[in-house]
Structures are given as C-alpha cells and as structure tokens.
C-alpha cells in the first residue's frame, strides 16, 4: 500500500491541503476558504472538512502516515498548539495537534510556516541533499527556518529561527512591528521596501521615477510589486531600492553564515521573485560582511523551488522522516 | 581506577595544562611558556613536554581517557588541525590531533578556544544543567560558542559560532580586523571600547574625565581596564562608555535569542569582569531588540564561572561525554 502524508497550510484567507508521498510528490491538492471572519468554529471546521475530503480521496488505497499542518506563528511546536495568530481571530492557545489527532485518530503535527517551508526545501526542494540549511522567505514579512541535520531547530521555547527580527542597524529610523529598530524585516520585506521608496521620494520631490505615475502621485500606494515592475522597466530609482534590499539581505545573511556556517541558504517568498538583480547584490554583499569569507563565497545561495505549494509540502515534510522509516518496512 | 582527562590550553605566551575528572574537577595543573618565538618546533615541544609531565603526574594510578587541546582559531575541528594562528608563528595546517595521538597513543581532540570554553561552562560551569547554551567571551576579541544538546555546533566547515563578527551596524565608522563594518567585536571588545572612548575625547576636547590623567594625556594609551577603573571611581564619561558597551552587547544578544532561543547565555572574558553595571545594561537592552520578549526576559544571562582555568576545563570537556560513558562501565 502506498504511503501518503496529509499536508495542510492554514492561512488567513485560504486553507490549502494535499496528499504528499514520503518522497515529496504532491499527488492531490485542494483549496478552501478559511472563513476566518466566522471565528474559531468556522475556520476550524473548514480545516477538518478539508482533511476529511483528502482522506476520502486517499480512499483506503493509500496508507496515511500522518497529518501535518502549518500556520503563521506564533506556534508552540513542542505543545502542538497555535498561540494567537493575528490573521485567525478567535484562535487562542488552540491545542491543534491534539484536537486533530483525536478527531482523525492519526498522528498530527503543527509547525510555524517558515520552519515547515525550510524543512520542505531541505528535504525535497532547492536544498535537497543538504542537511544544514538556513531558509528565508521574504514577502510581507521575513520568516526563517534553521534546519540542522534535516530537522527543524526549535530552541528552548520553540521560538528559535525568528531570524527576520534580528537588527542589522540599531539606530535605524525604521521600527519593526515587533518593536525592534532596524530588524531585517523592517528594512527588506515588501512593506519595508515600499516604505524606503516612499520616504526617499517624499524627501526628494524632484527625483524622477516611474513610481510617481504608477502610484498616481499617492506615494503611500507604492508596493514592492510596483518597485519590481518599475525596475524591470529600467527605472533607476526602483533599481536602487532593489539594490539596497539586496545589500540589507546580504549584510544580514553574512551574519547568519558567520554564526551558523550552513551548507546552503534558500531564499523564497514573493520578494525573492525579483530574481537575478536581487540575488546578485546579495551574493556580492555577503563576503564583505563575514569573517568566514573563504567559506561564505562557496555557500550556495539558492532560490526556493517549491513556490506556491510550499506550505503543503512543508506541512507534509513534518512526517517525511517518519515516512522514510515506514518505507523501509 | 579513577578516570582523568588531560586538558591543554595553547596560548601565544603560555601553555596551561591540567588533569580534569569527567565530573569537571581540576586535580592537577601546570603552566609552561609557549616559546612561540622559537617557531613550530619550539612551541610544539613545549606542548608535548607538558602533556608528558601531566601523564607522569597521573602516574599509572589514573586512567587517561584522552588529551583535549584548545587554541585560538582558526582551527578545523573536523580535521583536528590548527590552520594559521596569528600568535603561533610557524604553525601552518598542523595536524595537531593526529600528531599528539600518534605520539602518546591516546585519543586526542583539538578545538577553537571559545567553543571549548562554551562547552566547559555548559557542562560544569555557570550553565551546568542546561543543554542549549550560547557562550560569549569578551576580552581583546569577542569569541562565541554555540552548544546544542551539550555538544559544540560546528556548521558545515567547522567555522560556525563566530558570532563576534556579526555586524549590528552596517554603517558603523568602526571596521573590524575581519573586514566587517560594525561587527560586535569592533564595537564592544576591549580595544573597541578603548577606541570609542578615544574618538569621543578627541572630538570633545573639554569633556572632563579621569581618563585624561590616567593616560597622561595620551588618549591612545586608554585601555578597557582604565575605563573600568575610572568607572569604579564614578567617572561619568567612563560609565557612559561601559553603558554603551552593555547596550551594544544587548542589541547583539537580543538577535542571538531571536535566532537561537537558547536556554542560557554565559558571558566570560576580561571585559565581563566589569560585572554588575555591564550586565545590568545588557539585561535592560535585550527585551528592546527581540521579538521573543516574553521568553527573552526569562533567559538567564550568566557571568562565566570557570575564569582563568577555563581553557583547561574547555580542552578537557571535549572528552567529558566520553568520560561519562566510561564511568558507566
């Protein structure tokens, strides 16, 4: 009987789920709305229904090893509980692992989404074959996951790997939502990019850029996506913002290499899709900000591979090692 | 037969050695000059002679589990080799582990001194009882060691844990010897403290401080020790330099907590002996620069305990787990 894992990616607007083999092949996937506005009861029943329909799809022909789930933090992976996700109103210290386990009588696990995505990239994505990986997702925030010996590193309280909130500029004018000045998320995530662009354009009224037209003169409407488009249209100002983003990410990743000396770094998330110009600047900057220059230049800086289904893969990856062992039976 | 470990701490001016039990008791210690000026042959024979005399001291009444050694980096702990320590002229890619093993026909290990010290503090020092520890030594440089599950974390190339060279200020006027702008070593190690004091006093000629007299007007003679003494004599300027040092260390350690979520942080080295005023500022700053505030305030920030023999303990600690297992026999 073929073994599969149920992977569930719980987001604020949609819940994505799928059946994934222990080798990381997605054999079935499905999406439902979260109904977050209906509070815990509404969103929880959407999750249960999705799992139910996936188990039906497996239809007794496939043995289900477990149900992996991921959600935006804060999560306590040690207790298997979801603490108080800002995008899931009504969820407070939900013992999700235990509830799902009891409901379906199958092993269940829950994990922070960046950690899960990092594990998936390390097991069957861009860093397949590497054991020690530093994973980064740059989108509306910056999430990170530390994978050591093919496992997620959790730290004492299960909150390790929040690398996006390390400050690289303690006197920065930019304060992150987390309260820290100059943390990399405040500087280099999508909203941070947009904010830097806006502040510069407000300061220099005559600076020419396509972004003024694209935002119809409302600088507060500038998005990282707009910056990316303007850069593609050879707008020098937009290009300089991307360059600066790459520089910030490079300084920060240099620190991660100095500290963790990983085998590979994987960068995913919407902002990473800027691609070449961003990665080029990151790779150029890293050797300037690390003592381990000799090794840093050889550390692969890889674009993420799993893209839009990374959450499903990540959730399933929580059972991948268990799956591998089951395969041997 | 009682089991002991030979621990050897190789420095640029002296080599310290001792016999340590698997429980971390130093039962015998000895110091010899390194004779670094005599090149590899001279200093290596000092090390061999010291080991020989310690083995004679054990005198067949004690079973020697192994010979642990530590030295300032760069070290390749995976190959057991000393690469090119600036304070040991003539040493280039010395396969120290293999050479000592062949000479004495006993298991040998070599490790970077900060990693070894961190392991010692985690096994039988300030953080005894903790499994995941971030160790810092602040003296003429800043060395760090990451202890995970009572073992040194080495990373891919064996160069992980160089946390002292993470930048917390990418636009800092201070460049570290490693090439990085604003790394914590450049800002907060002893020479960095002295440099900050000097630069400020050069800029503000009328600023009153005991340091002018203590350095006989030669500001370049200011040392971190002098700053410490002036602060003890209630010199406000010296106190402000210590405060700033604590702030920098706090910003940086906040990042380490954000990333690694350790059980405890241990701070040793000469500068840490400033004690209370420094630790107070560090503890105040950490919660301001981490997303994991709730846990960060509970993370113990401990002064190191093993002090001047930490190198011997650290070298011996490399065999401590082996020793524990032997004890069970």
Both B104 and B145 in one domain: the answer is no
Answer whether B261 sits within 8 Å of A132, measured CB to CB: no
Quick one: average pLDDT of A275-300? 93
Chain A environment of B158 (Cβ under 8 Å): 261
* Residues in B 173-192 with any Cβ partner in A closer than 8 A: 176, 178-181, 183
A239 lies in some domain: yes
Answer whether A160 sits within 8 Å of B288, measured CB to CB: no
pLDDT > 70? residue B328: no
Q: Do residues B255 and B290 make contact, with C-beta atoms less than 8 angstroms apart?
A: yes
Omega of the bond leading into B74 within 30 degrees of 0 (cis): yes
C-alpha distance from B245 to closest chain A C-alpha (Å): 13
DSSP class of B198? H
Answer whether B163 sits within 8 Å of A258, measured CB to CB: yes
pLDDT > 90? residue A308: no
| pLDDT per position as a tens digit, B226-241 | 999 999 999 999 999 9
| pLDDT per position as a tens digit, B186-200 | 999 999 999 999 999
Answer whether B168 sits within 8 Å of A165, measured CB to CB: no
Both A142 and A46 in one domain: the answer is no
Residue B79 contacts A where some CB pair is shorter than 8 Å? no
Number of C-beta neighbours around residue B275 at 10 A: 10
Which of B180, B260, B292 lies nearest to residue A291, judging by beta carbons? B180
Number of A/B CB contacts below 8 angstroms equals: 136
Both A54 and A139 in one domain: the answer is no
Residue B169 contacts A where some CB pair is shorter than 8 Å? yes
A121 lies in some domain: no
Which of A169, A180, A260 lies nearest to residue B160, judging by beta carbons? A260
**Which residue out of A143, A146, A166, A246 would a mutagenesis test of the B interface target, given it has the greatest number of B Cβ atoms within 10 Å?**
A166
State ipTM.
0.91
| pLDDT per position as a tens digit, A2-14 | 899 999 999 989 9
Q: Do residues B114 and B135 make contact, with C-beta atoms less than 8 angstroms apart?
A: yes
**Could you tell me the pLDDT band of residue A198, with boundaries at 50, 70 and 90?**
very high
Question: For position A249, which CATH number holds?
Answer: 3.30.420.40
Q: Say how far apart CA A163 and CA A172 lie, in whole Å.
A: 17
Task: Determine the structural domain holding residue A55 and report its residue range.
Answer: 2-111+308-328
Answer whether B254 sits within 8 Å of A178, measured CB to CB: no
Task: Choose among A133, A145, A107, A158: nearest CA to A319.
Answer: A107
Q: Say how far apart CA A284 and CA B184 lie, in whole Å.
A: 22
Both A211 and A264 in one domain: the answer is yes
Omega of the bond leading into B30 within 30 degrees of 0 (cis): no
A117 lies in some domain: no
**Could you tell me the pLDDT band of residue A329, with boundaries at 50, 70 and 90?**
very low
* Residues in B 33-72 with any Cβ partner in A closer than 8 A: none
C-alpha distance from A93 to closest chain B C-alpha (Å): 16
| pLDDT per position as a tens digit, A209-236 | 999 999 998 999 999 999 999 999 999 9
CA–CA–CA angle A227, A232, A235 (5° rounding): 65
Quick one: average pLDDT of A98-104? 97
| pLDDT per position as a tens digit, B119-158 | 999 999 999 999 999 999 999 999 999 999 999 999 988 8
Both B235 and B107 in one domain: the answer is no
Task: Choose among A46, A39, A57: nearest CA to A8.
Answer: A46
| pLDDT per position as a tens digit, B109-128 | 999 999 999 999 999 999 99
Both B235 and B262 in one domain: the answer is yes
Both A300 and A313 in one domain: the answer is no
Both B149 and B297 in one domain: the answer is yes
Quick one: average pLDDT of A37-53? 96
- Measure the CA dihedral A255/A260/A261/A262, to 10°: -110
Instruction: Name the token pair of B203.
Output: 């800029």
Task: Choose among A302, A263, A325: nearest CA to A125.
Answer: A302
The predicted pLDDT at position A325 comes to 54
A7 lies in some domain: yes
A120 lies in some domain: no
Both B211 and B79 in one domain: the answer is no
A30 lies in some domain: yes
Number of domains in chain A: 2
Chain B environment of A281 (Cβ under 8 Å): none
**Could you tell me the pLDDT band of residue B329, with boundaries at 50, 70 and 90?**
very low
The sign of the torsion formed by the CA atoms of A82, A85, A88, A90 equals positive
Both A273 and A178 in one domain: the answer is yes
Both A246 and A172 in one domain: the answer is yes
**Could you tell me the pLDDT band of residue A323, with boundaries at 50, 70 and 90?**
low
A294 lies in some domain: yes
A251 lies in some domain: yes
Both A42 and A179 in one domain: the answer is no
Q: Do residues A180 and B289 make contact, with C-beta atoms less than 8 angstroms apart?
A: yes
Q: Do residues A104 and A221 make contact, with C-beta atoms less than 8 angstroms apart?
A: no
């Amino acid at each position: 009987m073929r073994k599969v894992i149920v992977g569930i990616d719980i987001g604020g607007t949609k819940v994505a789920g799928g059946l994934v083999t222990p080798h990381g092949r997605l054999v079935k996937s499905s999406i439902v709305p979260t109904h977050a506005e209906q509070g815990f009861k509404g969103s929880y029943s959407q999750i249960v229904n999705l799992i139910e329909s996936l188990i039906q799809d497996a239809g007794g022909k496939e043995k289900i090893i477990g149900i992996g789930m991921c959600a935006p933090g804060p999560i306590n992976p040690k207790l298997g509980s979801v603490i108080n996700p800002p995008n899931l109103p009504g969820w407070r210290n939900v013992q999700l692992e235990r509830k799902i386990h009891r409901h379906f009588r199958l092993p269940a696990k829950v994990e922070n989404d960046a950690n899960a995505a990092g594990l998936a990239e390390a097991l069957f994505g861009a860093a397949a074959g590497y054991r020690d990986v530093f994973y980064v997702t740059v989108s509306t925030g910056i999430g990170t996951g530390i994978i050591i010996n093919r496992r997620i590193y959790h730290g004492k309280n299960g909150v390790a790997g929040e690398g996006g909130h390390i400050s690289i500029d303690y006197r920065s004018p930019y304060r992150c939502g987390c309260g820290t000045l100059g943390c990399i998320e405040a500087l280099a995530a999508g909203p941070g990019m947009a904010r830097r662009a806006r502040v510069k354009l407000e300061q220099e009224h005559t600076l020419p850029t396509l972004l003024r037209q694209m935002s119809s003169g409302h600088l507060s409407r500038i998005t990282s996506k707009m910056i990316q488009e303007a850069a593609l249209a050879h707008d020098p100002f937009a290009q300089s913002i991307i360059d600066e983003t790459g520089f910030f990410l490079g300084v920060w990743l240099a620190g991660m290499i100095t500290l963790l000396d990983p085998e590979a770094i994987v960068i995913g998330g919407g902002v990473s899709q800027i691609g070449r110009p961003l990665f080029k600047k990151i790779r150029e900057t890293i050797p300037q900000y690390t003592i381990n220059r000799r090794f840093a230049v050889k550390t692969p800086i890889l674009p993420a591979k799993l893209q839009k289904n990374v959450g499903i893969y990540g959730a399933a990856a929580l059972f991948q090692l268990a799956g591998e062992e089951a395969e041997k039976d």
